Amino acid sequence: MSEYDNRGAIWGNDKKVKDTQPDFTGSILVDGKDYFISGWKRKADANPKSPALSLAVTLKDQQPSQAPKPVKSPNSGFDEEGDIPFN
């Protein structure tokens, strides 16, 4: 197991072309498995008590058809039909 297990990094998504795509993308290592991570900023008109950032995590080894569909949290501004550009 790596000394960097249970850690990751996320960057601004410079390839975003649609509002449904994540604002941030990156990767994390959890329990020795690599995951993609995507993040969406809270919309300007969302409830101020909603999360500032919504996240989706997908195992890197999964085929795109096997990836679980993200769950939308109330007032998060997260679009469950969003595209992940690195699949």
What was the pLDDT predicted at 12?
A: 96
Question: Is residue 75 a part of any domain in this protein?
Answer: no
Q: Name the token pair of 49.
A: 């008590």
Whether pLDDT at 44 is above 50 = yes
Question: Is residue 2 a part of any domain in this protein?
Answer: no
Whether pLDDT at 13 is above 90 = yes
Question: Is residue 49 a part of any domain in this protein?
Answer: yes
What was the pLDDT predicted at 4?
A: 74
Long-range contacts for 73-81 (Cβ within 8 Å, ≥24 apart)?
74/50, 75/46, 75/47, 75/49, 75/50, 76/40, 76/42, 76/46, 76/50, 76/51, 77/40, 77/41, 77/42, 77/43, 77/46, 77/50, 78/40, 78/54, 79/19, 79/20, 79/40, 81/20
Q: How many separate domains does the chain show?
A: 1
Least confident of 33-37, 49-53, 73-77: 73-77
Question: Is residue 13 a part of any domain in this protein?
Answer: yes
Question: Is residue 79 a part of any domain in this protein?
Answer: no
Query: Average per-residue pLDDT in the chain?
Result: 79
